[in-house]
Amino acid sequence: MSGPSKKPARASRRPSESGAKAAAKTGGKASAKSAAPTAAEVAAYLKAHPDFLETHPDVLTELSAPSRGDGNVVDLQSFMIERLGGEVTRLRETQKDLLATARKNLATQSRIHEAVIALMTAPSFEHLIEAMTTDVAARLDLDVIRICVEASEETPAGCRTPGVRVLTAGRIDELLGPDLQILLRPDVEPDPEIFGSAAALVQSDALVRLHVSSGTPPGLLAFGSRNADHFDRGQATELLTFLARAAESQIRTWLDLPQ
């Protein structure tokens, strides 16, 4: 008789739960370690992105600058101080430029106010024209100022009033266009029709449209300078426009014209 049969041992079909957890834990640690960049990779990235610290300045506060040592040590601290010193120098230069511009603007504003007072205190129309074309020119450090008006029945082309120029009809719109009120021109060509015998002196100019009255032809107030860069298109125009409006008002008052 044969003895009792033995049950065959069952083969394990899957790893134990604890083994799986251990494997996962070990694999996660290995993955995390492999994801961390090496020092060489960090150095290569910084070399490839030299502006990294500029765009992420907060990183600098977390870094330890190397102490000053021998010539083989790169002194990051000195580099940072040198860069900050350059920024301070640039800021100081910018501040100086801003202060100089502010002083220049303030001086120009003061001279414009004095010019307007000179126009307001002129005792006659003839003195008003003289003040505008001589006194104001001197106050603003300009070589010539001319009052221009387009030819019409009231202003014949042969007008001989000193300081006043008569332009051909339509010339002001030709210069400024139909809508522009003021035009600043550097390196301008001489224009005898506007500046007469002084045209050869003028290297830059400012042309401001005059609206004296609804019953008068178009007018123009022309400022000329021998300096080619005295006027340029990037300059503010508020003060010159203010002076032109004051001149309009005084001309209208002396000639008893409607607005």
Tokens representing 99? 């202060």
Stretch (H or E) spanning 209: strand 204-210
* CATH number assigned to the domain comprising residue 107: 3.30.450.40
Structural domain of 125: 99-254
DSSP notation for 123-142? SSHHHHHHIIIIIHHHHTT-
Q: Would residue 129 count as lying in a domain? A: yes
Q: Would residue 10 count as lying in a domain? A: no
Neighbours of 35 (CB within 10 A): 7
Q: Would residue 224 count as lying in a domain? A: yes
Q: Would residue 87 count as lying in a domain? A: no
Number of domains within the chain: 1
Q: Would residue 147 count as lying in a domain? A: yes
Q: Would residue 40 count as lying in a domain? A: no
Helix 76-120 to helix 238-254 angle (10° resolution) is: 0
Helical spans, DSSP H, in the chain: 17-35, 39-48, 52-55, 76-120, 125-130, 136-139, 171-176, 192-195, 238-254
One-letter amino acid identity for 57? P
Q: What is the largest CA-CA distance in the chain?
A: 153
Q: Is the pTM of this model over 0.85?
A: no
Q: Would residue 137 count as lying in a domain? A: yes
* Tens digits of pLDDT across the chain (259 residues): 444 444 444 444 444 444 444 444 555 444 545 578 898 888 898 889 888 878 887 777 677 656 555 555 556 667 677 777 788 888 888 888 888 777 877 888 889 999 999 999 999 999 999 999 999 999 999 999 999 999 887 665 556 778 899 999 999 999 999 889 999 999 999 899 999 999 999 999 999 999 998 888 999 999 999 999 999 988 889 999 999 999 999 999 998 888 7
Q: Which residues fall within 8 angstroms of residue 218, CB to CB, at 6 or more apart? A: 149, 150, 172, 173, 209, 210
Q: Would residue 20 count as lying in a domain? A: no
